[in-house]
Amino acid sequence: MLQSQSVKINSVHFGGFVVRRNALVSHGKSGITRCGPIELEWGKRTYIMGIINATPDSFSGDGLGFDVQAALEQALRFQAEGADIIDVGGESTRPGSMAVDSDEEIRRVVPVIQLLSSRLDIPISVDTYKYAVASEALAAGATMINDVWGLQQAPALADLAAKEGVPIILMHNQKGTSYADLVPEVIASLQISLGQALKAGIPFENVILDPGLGFGKAPAHNLEILRRLQEFKALSVPILVGTSRKSTIGLVLGLPVEERLEGTAATVALSIANGADIVRVHDVKVMTRVARMSDAIVRGWAV
């Protein structure tokens, strides 16, 4: 059941930590996260995360398998087109996909990350919820962890991120799509993930949260979260949104995955208007332009 009542949080409690609502970031307010060779200055502009799928079965049809050279060429193109971060994943999350063990995932992502880290000027994130994979990826040159289970599957990822001093993205996810009150429940779950991260010693500025569009949510839920995204800013940390080519866009427009560019552009623009700080995308060139135009409207533009 979807509720229309807004969530208002003046302070948030994370296992003994109390953080005021305006502690770090919202439109017009700044905070800085160090990620590899760059500083992410929140509120200044939207950051672009380009997706590299080192998988044979990506839902979006762009899986590169074990072709490390193709991954490098794509990453270099993304960097030239405006990507700020490259996110490398080795396990498909599409419906019906087969889970892979840590050894296989390491075999897929580590050679890619090793090569990319030697050639790129922008940071590399590893998209994994497995401790062993994240550890090997960081050793290979990644400087960010993107955990699609928000520490639910591997709480020790928080210890790893704290030890290595890297930012971590914590996404909301759940089995099934049942909610009594969608947005408050997703926010409450993200609060728990954030509390785990802080308790492990991760600096507040190194945590990024993701409402998890398409993960444990029906299409109506995804649209509702996009519509109410501003409410997630009450968590006082940067927000990442990943809508690129997803099935909700296909359902709304009646289009296959390869024809969802315009639908993705609409979700990216509206996400930025509603408070997104990072957008995770496949089509970097186009979405960088969408983000820059959206930023000019939302955050202001100087000649």
Which residues are designated catalytic? 246, 280
Whole-Å CA distances, 278 to 45, 221, 289: 9, 20, 14
User: In which residue are the tokens 């672009």 written?
Assistant: 48
Which run of H or E residues covers position 279? Answer: strand 278-281
Strand 47-53 to strand 85-89: parallel, antiparallel, or no bridges (unpaired)? parallel
How far apart are alpha carbons 148 and 214 in whole angstroms?
A: 11
How far apart are alpha carbons 301 and 299 in whole angstroms?
A: 7
How far apart are alpha carbons 58 and 289 in whole angstroms?
A: 25
Strand 144-147 to strand 124-127: parallel, antiparallel, or no bridges (unpaired)? parallel
Sign of CA dihedral 192, 197, 199, 200: positive
Return the closest-CA partner of residue 146 out of 166, 118, 175, 176.
Answer: 166
Burial 58-95 (b: 16+ CB within 10 A, else e): bbbebbbeeebeebbebbeebbebbbbbbbbbbbbbee
Contacts of 298 (CB under 8 A, 6+ apart): 27, 272, 273
Q: Is 7 exposed, middle or buried (0-12, 13-18, 19+ CB in 10 A)?
A: middle
Return the closest-CA partner of residue 58 out of 285, 287, 222, 282.
Answer: 282
